[in-house]
Amino acid sequence: MFYVRVGQQSFVYTGDYNMTPDRHLGSANCDRLRPDLLITESTYATTIRDSKRCRERDLLRQVSECVREGGKVLIPVFALGRAQELCLLLDAFWERTGLDVPIYFSAGLTERANWYYKMFIGWTNQKIKNTFVKRNVFDFVHIRPFDRALVDTPGPMVLFATPGMLHGGLSSDVFKRW
């Protein structure tokens, strides 16, 4: 987010931002500004969605039903942001429910992004900072980097794979195989 003032005129320029906190990041926080002009990304500005809690509950129900029945779950994600939030969600769910099904995430960019989350815990929300005293929540208990040799492994598994749009790479390759 950039705030620029030239003389008596000002503007704010921002890309994507979120005013609702995630599992790992706080909400966007900015000073009370009264710009003359606001330039912002607005892809979902008019979208009305179910509550985040409902969407997460539905995802966890679908994933757990699938793997309990022996299925595989492919979750295409972008390497940074949503991937870590969903990893936190599933890792905590696996811990609570005792599910013994492997969860993997794409090696490479996602793995490097996870490393940065571990290193820069100060960028995360207060709940994660408080938990950090006991352990770094980005040291996932139930989630491991994925090796392509595992793609044909029989039995249930969950895979967070990039890219999120399935236009190529691991997510597309696995989608075609499974």
Per-residue pLDDT of the chain (178 residues; tens, 9 = 90+): 888 999 999 999 988 776 666 666 666 677 788 899 999 888 777 777 788 889 999 999 999 999 999 999 999 998 777 788 899 899 999 999 999 999 999 877 667 777 776 777 677 767 767 776 667 777 889 999 999 999 999 999 999 998 999 999 999 999 999 9
Q: DSSP characters for 127-177?
A: HHHHHTTT--TTS-SSEEE--GGGTT-SS-EEEEES-TT-SSHHHHHHHHH
Q: Which of 41, 65, 95, 111 is catalytic?
A: 41
Q: Is 65 a catalytic site residue?
A: no
Domain positions in the chain are 2-40, 52-177
CA distance 53 to 42: 23
Q: Are 105 and 155 in contact (CB under 8 A)?
A: no
What ranges in 4-81 are assigned the alpha helix state H?
A: 52-68
Please state which CATH number belongs to domain 52-177: 3.40.50.10890
What is the value of pTM for the model shown? 0.74
Pairing of strands 9-14, 2-6: antiparallel
CA distance 70 to 5: 59
